[in-house]
Structure 1
């Protein structure tokens, strides 16, 4: 069975985006950018909700061709294009860059994908991840916490019906007071 991880940048007060979908507070250091790039490099399949897909696909397919692109950005763009992806959306009409579109039942499809063969899966996007959380499908939570309080916006966690017990498996400190905590779900 494939492992499913939910990992995002998060504010100290628990948000992945500030009001108005503002992500300006989460600009990564070079070291943190490399961490995310390396994670993309080992992801067997990425699951995206519509909004995150729109944000990523509006920039990364051609980011390596932009004037002034750094070697790290060139590497990330290549890794992102090559990584197999599934977009879950009832309004998106077409996808590209090694991506498949799913318009049907999210939980059923994620369950099917987890049961299949392949490398680890990452899930991104608040609404999509919330559905997977409520269904008990997430095996690992990766929170990269930035030292900022944004006061509202899009929360990392959704309301849950039951407790989820976690085991801390990794911590790491990045420049500017950013801290990675990685937890596995105890089953």
Structure 2
């Protein structure tokens, strides 16, 4: 069975985006960018909600062709394009760049995708991840916490009606006081 991993940059007060979908506060250091690149290379499939898909697909399809693109950005863009993606949206009509669109029930499709392999897949987007959390489908949580309070916006965790016990399996400190905490869901 595939392992489903939910990982995002998070403000200290628990948000993945500040009001207005502002993510400028989470600009990664070179070391953190490299860590995200290596993490992304471990996934055989990436699941996206509409808003995160729109953010990622607005830059990364041609990120390696941008003037002044650094080697790590070139590698990230190529990996992003090469990784198969599933986009969950009831409003989008088409997706591109090695992606397919799912308009139906996300939980049913994620359950099917988990059973359809034995590698790792990522999930991104607060609403999509929230549905997977509620269904008990997330196996690992990765919080890369930035030392900033943004005061509101899109929370990493949505409201849950059940308790989930986690085991801390990794911590790491990055430049600028950014911390990584990786948790595995206790089954």
TM-score, normalised relative to structure 1 = 0.99
Over 3 Å counting, the alpha-carbon distance change for 1:162 and 1:114 in structure 2 is same
Point out where structure 1 has 5 or more consecutive residues left out of the alignment: none
- Superposition deviation, residue 96 in structure 1: 1.0
3-state SS of the aligned residue for 1:181? strand
The residue aligned with 1:86 is 86
2: CA distance between counterparts of 1:24 and 1:66? 19
- Superposition deviation, residue 28 in structure 1: 0.1
- 8 Å CA contact 1:130–1:158 kept in 2: the answer is yes
The residue aligned with 2:54 is 54
The residue aligned with 1:108 is 108
Is structure 2 residue 159 aligned with structure 1 residue 159?
Answer: yes
The residue aligned with 2:73 is 73
The residue aligned with 2:9 is 9
- Superposition deviation, residue 93 in structure 1: 1.0
1: CA distance between counterparts of 2:59 and 2:160? 33
2: CA distance between counterparts of 1:23 and 1:146? 11
- 8 Å CA contact 2:5–2:139 kept in 1: the answer is yes
- Superposition deviation, residue 118 in structure 1: 4.4
- Superposition deviation, residue 2 in structure 1: 0.5
3-state SS of the aligned residue for 2:167? strand
- Superposition deviation, residue 37 in structure 1: 0.8
TM-score, normalised relative to structure 2 = 0.99
Is structure 2 residue 172 aligned with structure 1 residue 172?
Answer: yes
Is structure 2 residue 182 aligned with structure 1 residue 182?
Answer: yes
Q: Map Cα deviations across residues 126-173 of structure 1 (whole Å, 9 max, x no partner).
A: 110000001100000000000000010000001111110000000000
Paired residues in the alignment total 187
CA RMSD of aligned residues (A): 0.6
2: CA distance between counterparts of 1:21 and 1:113? 29
- 8 Å CA contact 1:142–1:182 kept in 2: the answer is yes
3-state SS of the aligned residue for 1:62? helix
Flag as ranges the 4+ runs of structure 1 deviating above 4 A. none
- 8 Å CA contact 1:6–1:142 kept in 2: the answer is yes
The residue aligned with 1:135 is 135
- 8 Å CA contact 2:145–2:180 kept in 1: the answer is yes
- 8 Å CA contact 1:44–1:118 kept in 2: the answer is no
